[in-house]
Homo-oligomer: A and B are copies of this chain.
Amino acid sequence: MMTRTDPPSDGIRVAVSTVIFSLRRDPTTGRLAVVLPLVRRTRDPHEGRWALPGGWLDGAEELDVAASRTLAETTGLAPSYLEQLYAFGDIGRSPGRVVSIVYWALLREGAQLPIDAHNVAWFDASDLPTLAFDHNHIVDYALWRLRNKVGYSRIAHGLLPDLFSLSDLREVYEAILERDLDPANFRRQVENSGTLIPTEQFRTGSHRPARLYRYNHDVELAERGPLRSDITPATAPPVLPEKVTT
């Protein structure tokens, strides 16, 4: 960059938004569902519409810090996983020229909004209203990434507490993928992956007690390639498609 002439910063503004996923159990069906918090806009563009939490990037603030701040301000909680999703910068997506660096994050199941949270609410990811700006599109993409990534990484653990049963974990997968998985096969796959540490604790209360497992922190939650080399050296696969000029 900065190879050409030097007329920078037109009226271009940089924002940071975050798609925050968590899980909530539907009281009627008893099944887990992917939910996300949205904030109601209280000012000009798209006032009254629900939108992703976010804000302008501070000139002295790292991108991921800005995303975390977003999260703290809306949910009062720290994400268990945070990853850059995409930079959305289409000309027509907002009045003026706004480039939004969008992150996506996971919260452990059962996260509660702070009681003083006004204009913030949880929505079922598969049943969203029309959102502000291109945020429906952004959520669609984030969901696609989530569903993809759950297939080749262990991010599902980012939605669970420290101790969980294999059924808990399977339910997370089923909620994300929106289809049932075979309990027997699921057990074997996850047991052979070497990422779970069995404990001697069991969840009792109904039927046969289920052994509780703990996540093996020696293995990263998700491979990220050479990004943030201070966290992940190098190994497996990520994902992210787009644009074909062929």
Contact = CB atoms under 8 A, between A and B. Distances in A.
A63 B86 contact: no
A89 interface: yes
Contacts of A224: 241-244
B2 A94 contact: yes
A56 interface: yes
Contact of A1 (B1, B4, B133, B234): B133
Given A83-B241, A158-B246, 9 more contacts: A9-B11, A9-B13, A12-B57, A12-B59, A62-B91, A147-B240, A148-B239, A190-B244, A224-B242
A145 B238 contact: yes
A29 B73 CA distance: 58
8 contacts: A1-B17, A2-B56, A3-B41, A9-B56, A83-B240, A144-B225, A224-B243, A228-B242
Interface stretch (A47-55, A110-118, A121-129, A202-210): A47-55
Interface in A156-194: 156-158, 169, 173, 181, 185-186, 189-190, 193
Contact of A64 (B100, B137, B148, B243): B243
Contact of A87 (B7, B101, B137, B244): B101
Contacts of A238: 144-145, 148
Nearest to A181: B242
A218 interface: no
Contact of A246 (B2, B100, B156): B156
A145 to B, nearest CB: 7
Contacts of A147: 237, 240
A240 B151 contact: yes
A90 to B, nearest CB: 6
B80 A1 contact: no
Interface in A11-61: 11-17, 39, 41, 43, 45, 51-61
B158 A227 contact: no
